[in-house]
Structure formats: structure tokens, C-alpha cells
Chain A
Amino acid sequence: MTFLGKFKYFGLREKFVLVVSMVIISSMLIISGYLIKRQNEIYHQELVSRGQALVTSLAYNAEFGVILESQSDLEELLKGVSRADDITYALICASDGRVLAEIGVDKFAAVRDNLAHTEDEPDGGKYRQRQYFDHEGTEYIEIRYPVQTRKQQLSRENLGSVFDYQARDYGSDTEIIGEVCLGLTMANLREEINRSQSAAILLTLMVVFSAIIIMTAFVRVIVHPIKTLVEVTDQISKGDLSKTVDINRRDEIGLLAESFNRMIESLKKSQQEIEEYNRNLEQKIIERTHELEDAQTQLIQSEKLAGIGQLAAGVAHELNNPLGGILGYAQFTLEKMEKKEIATLTPKDYESFKRYLRDIETQTRRCKTIVQNLLKFSRSSSKVEFHDTDINQVMEETMTFIEHQLVMNQISLKKDLDKHIPIIQGNPGQLQQVFTNMIINALHASPAGTTITIMTRYLPPLGEFPGAIEIYIADQGMGISEDNLKKIFEPFFTTKEVGKGTGLGLSVSYGIIKDHGGEIKVKSKVGEGTTFAIIIPLEKKAVAVDKIEIDK
């Protein structure tokens, strides 16, 4: 990752410090760089000027020493000069190159060698100047100046004005009689520059350091409350509204904290309102649920009552028909018998009585059957025994009873019985009753020319599934409407004419299949037909036989 890439991950404090430090360092560098350079120039200039002044002064003062070639005078002269710190060496030589006097030159053998043929550029007239480094790396400036004398000047009266430089006329009539060479070290200058540089660096560091301290303190003042804000925001986002921002300041951050606290307050308030609302809502929902439950209970109760009414009406109608015959014939017989003496009864009367009584018996039996059906429906009858049952065989037997009816109604039968069905524990009589009921139902629903399909299937055990037998009875009849589909297993529900169906067939079938641990499913579409599926598991579930109450 590049530095710029990392930069955005820095904290505010780091960013501030970094930027400010960089600004300070770069400006310090520029400023001190410039100042040092300037100082260097000035110092150099000064050194050169002083050197030139010294060399000039030496040259004038050495005029007579050179003429007289007085070594001691000249050495005395040089000694006086060399007291200055930065004068490293000095020498005076004659015009033929002979060194008349020298001081400090020992170290600089090269200086003497170079004397005659130094070709350095003259600096503004007669100064010859060069800069060089010795083998230790110290830099020197060497300045030379010719020692001159006037050709006809050497008169006694003129000797007194040696120092009167201005008065001297250096015209074309001057003669060069020798040369003064002065070596100045630049070590002091370098030292001075180094000191300045160190000072500049030290100063920069100090400024940066104090800037960092100040920045850190300042940033802390700004960042700390922001951090507090962040922490509180975090708490709020987690749903904890108990904290407030504790910043007591008059500046923008203080205002921010204040408005933040106000926000928390209003959040708290709306949260409380929502909670209150939720509580109310919950209460309302509970109330409504109770109301609904009550209403449902009432509805169930009234449906039950309606069911009982329906049942009663159905039973009454069923019973009233045969009772009509019974009552009628009983009265009729009585009437006839009362009209005649026993002795006068003719064989014809006797036959009539027999017929009446037979009718009464038949109708009474019919009443008995109805009552028995009712009892069967209430399922209060004794326990049913289960034994080995071959579903396919039961189905075949059932078909023998019904096939004739199918033919009469011009309905064809498609049989598809799975030969692999195992023997199950069941009650063949009851199962036959169920199959008969369902096939008769299918028959009644089927118009002529349609087909009823009967199918058995074996579903082998798989994992926890114990295996099952499925029996399908499908017709292409009128179908059952959705409303009726919900009711078909209800007792006494029938769409048939009164007297044709008790409305008990399917509910009794349902009970029987439930006793076998199975279930009945039905799929129907109006106008297309109905399919009943009976599913009997191989392992009879240990379910208690549900008693279906009449009012259920």
C-alpha cells in the first residue's frame, strides 16, 4: 500500500501532526538553507576583503624591505600580520622569485613551488587569487599582490609618506620589485557554517517538536470530544439511549454535543412512545384475539347446533317415512278389525292383514336400520377385531357386489391392483364397507359413459417411513365444490335427496380408516371428477380409537 493509501487510515491526530510537521520542516529547510548560503557568501566576501586589505598593506610596507632585501624587517612585518587567526601563511619574495621572508609556509611546500607560475585569475587589477584544498581537505584562499616602487621615487624626502597610499601615483612609471603572498584558511568559515547548520537543524527539530506537542494538545481538544461522540453514537446504534455526551464547551463542538444530546432525548422520547404504542397494540391484539376466540366459540357452538338441527331433521325425515307406513297400516288394520267380527273375516281380509303386518314389519326394520346406522356413526359399538387382510381380495369381493350396478349405469371400470401388496392387519368387513361406500358415491356422481378407476399401490418401507398401502377410487363425475369438500366427512352431510343417503357414509368410512391408523384424502374439481385416496400404513399406529360424538 502506498503512503497516500495508508494516509486515510490515520487518525485525525496523526494527520494533523504529519501535515504540520512536514510544513514546518520544509519551511525551516528553505529558510535556513537560504540564510546559510547568504551567510556563507558574506563571510567569504569579508574574508577576501580583509585578505586583500592585509596583502595591500603588506605590499606597501614591504617596499623598502624588499628593496633592501632585509629579511629581518620583512619577517617582523609578517609576524605582525600572522597574529590574525585565519592567516595561515605569508611570504614575501623578490621579483626574481627568491623568497625574502616567510612564515607558516613549511606545511605548504607546494605554495613555494607555485609561486612563480601561478596563473590564477587576477581579481580586479593586481590581486591574484586562488582557492584550493590541502590534502586534509581544508580550503584556503591565497591572495597575492605585487610589491611596487616608483622608478625615481627613492628620494629621502619621500620616505616619510610611505603610508600615504592615495598620494602615491601608480602610473606607468612603477616597477614591480617583488610579491606578497597571503594564505587564509577557510576552516573558520566552514566551522561557522557548520555551527549555523547545526543550529538550524536543532532549531527546526525544536520547532517541530514543540509544534507536535502543541498540535497533539490541540488535536486532543478537538478529537477527544469527537471520540466521545463516536462512542455514544455507537452505544445508541446498539440501542442504549442511557448515555449522553458530556462536553461542556461554548465552541462548535460544544454546540454539536448539545444538539447531539437533544437528538438522544428526542430519540428516547420517540422510543418510549413506540414502546407505549406497542404495549397498547399488544393489549389491543390480546383483546381482539379474545373477542375473536369468543366469536369463534360461538360460531362453533352455533354450527354444532345447526348440525344437530340438520341431523335431527334428517333423522326425523328418515324415520317419519317408514313410521308413516307403520302408523297407517296399524290403524288401517285396527279399523278393519273393529268393523268386523272375527268370525266374519274372509280369507281376503286375512291376506290383507298379513300384507299390512308384513309392511309394518318391513318398515319397522327400516327404522331399526336407521337407528343402527346412527349408533354405528356414534361408534359406541364394541371393539373391532383385526386380522390378516388382503386389500386386493377385499376390493375384488367389493367389486362383485357393485359391478352389476356399474353396468346398469353404463359406467366402465378400470382396475389396477398392485400384486405386491403385503397382507396387513385390518378388518375386511369394515374395509369392504368403506370401499363399497366410496365406489357407490363415485357411481352416483358419474354420468353414463364415464369411467371409474380403482387402483391399489404398495409403498415399501423407507427409513422411518413404515411403508403403506394406497387405494385410489377416481371418478369422472360432477366433482365436489370447494365448500362441500370441507364438509364431506361431517356426519349427515349429503347432497343426495333425503332418503337416498344418510350423510353418514363418508364419516363412518373416515372413522374406520382412522381405526386402521390411516387417512383419507380427497381431490376434486367441479366438472372433472373426484379422486379419493385411502392410505393405510403397514404398521398400525397405536392410536386410541377416537369416538366421534354425534354432535361433532
Chain B
Amino acid sequence: MIQTAQKSILIVDDEEVMREFLSEVLEDFSIEKACDGHEAISKIKEKKYDLIITDMKMPGISGEEVVQFAKKTCPNSKIIVISGYSSLFSVGNTMRFGISAFLSKPFTIKQIRSEVEKSLVGEKDRESSGEDYHV
């Protein structure tokens, strides 16, 4: 297990079910939630999160913009993108933003946990999770 007490995670998704589910799965971390890109950006401005988990398609400011903003404001924050679309091709050139992982919905608890742990531990073992990028 990793050190969870100090790690903070921001969950950004317009789907309430997904936000709740993720916060329950990752209950060991310090979780904050944003229901759209607007809220996410204002939260990122206020605080440096260790990890940002964001949906891609959201009304108003999209996940893509949130990722761009986060990379600029806090380059040390890790980012995991989750989407209803099944491949990176559908969400565009996401990998260019230098995100830690892409998960397509629906994903298993094991998958999300594994990705969260990997991204918070560091860059090692990236290739082992590569299979998830190309569903």
C-alpha cells in the first residue's frame, strides 16, 4: 500500500454516479469533487492536487481544457482521463498532454485502483498498464 494520508485527488465528472463511485472506491485518499470544468479549474487554482481524475466530455469547459490548465498551473500533478469513449482516438490527442493514464468507461475497480497507485508512486511500470490505452 502507498502512503495515502497526504495524497489529494480531484475527481471531475458531470456524472454524479461516477463521482460518488470514484470517491467511495478511493476513500483512502483526500478526495475533492468537481461537477464540471469550471469548478475543476477554480479548484486547481486554489490547491495543488497530487492527482486529477477527469472526464473528457463535459458541458462548458471540457476535460481537455482542464488537463491543459492543470499541466500549466501544476505540472507536478498526475492526471488520469476517464471517458465514455472507448479509445484514445475518440478523445483526440490526449496523450500529447502528458497524462498518466486513460481509462474508458466502464472500467473495473481493479483498473482504477491500479492506475491511481501507479501514477502516485511514479513513472515506473508505465508500460505494464499500456493495454488500457488501446481498448
Contacts and interface: CB of A to CB of B under 8 A. Distances in A.
Contacts of B17: 322, 324-325, 359, 362-363
Contact of A323 (B22, B90, B106): B106
Contact of A317 (B59, B82, B85, B109): B85
B106 A316 contact: no
Contacts of A321: 15, 18, 84, 105
A500 interface: yes
Contacts of A322: 17
A494 to B, nearest CB: 12
Interface string B97-124: 0000000111111100000000000000
Contacts of B21: 324-325, 328-329, 332, 359
B86 A320 contact: yes
A499 B57 CA distance: 8
Contact of A326 (B25, B86, B106): B106
B88 interface: no
Contact of A359 (B20, B25, B57, B85): B20
B72 to A, nearest CB: 24
Interface in B13-71: 14-15, 17-18, 20-22, 24-25, 57-59
Nearest to A500: B59
Given A325-B17, A359-B21, 8 more contacts: A313-B85, A317-B83, A325-B21, A325-B106, A328-B22, A328-B25, A497-B58, A498-B84
Interface in A313-353: 313, 316-329, 331-332, 335
Nearest to B82: A324
Contacts of B14: 499
Interface in A52-72: none
Contact of A324 (B24, B57, B90, B106): B106
A313 B57 CA distance: 13
Contact count band on B: 20 to 34
Contacts of A331: 108-110
Given A320-B105, A332-B25, A335-B109, A325 B15 contact: yes
A363 B18 CA distance: 10
A319 B106 CA distance: 9
Nearest to A326: B106
Nearest to A323: B106
Contacts of B86: 316, 320
Contacts of A317: 57, 83-85
Contacts of B57: 317, 497-499
Contacts of B90: 313
Contacts of A500: 59
- Specify which of A319, A327, A362 lies most central, judged by the most chain B CB atoms within 10 Å of its CB: A327
B40 to A, nearest CB: 15
Contacts of B15: 321, 324-325, 499
Closest 5 CB pairs between A and B? A324-B105, A325-B17, A317-B84, A327-B106, A320-B84
Residue from A317, A497, A500 whose CB has the most chain B CB atoms within 10 Å: A317
Contacts of B24: 332
A324 B18 contact: yes
Nearest to A328: B21
6 contacts: A319-B84, A320-B85, A320-B104, A325-B17, A331-B110, A332-B25
Contacts of B106: 320, 323-328
Contact of A325 (B18, B58, B108): B18
A497 B59 contact: yes
Interface string A286-315: 000000000000000000000000000100
Nearest to B62: A497
Nearest to B15: A321
Contacts of B83: 317
A251 B121 CA distance: 116
Contacts of B20: 359
A440 to B, nearest CB: 15
Nearest to A316: B86
B25 to A, nearest CB: 6
A499 B84 CA distance: 10
A505 B104 CA distance: 27
A268 to B, nearest CB: 67
A324 B21 CA distance: 9
A320 B104 CA distance: 8
Contact of A327 (B59, B82, B85, B108): B108
Contacts of A332: 21, 24-25, 109
B28 to A, nearest CB: 14
Nearest to B90: A313
A316 B21 CA distance: 20
A335 B14 CA distance: 26
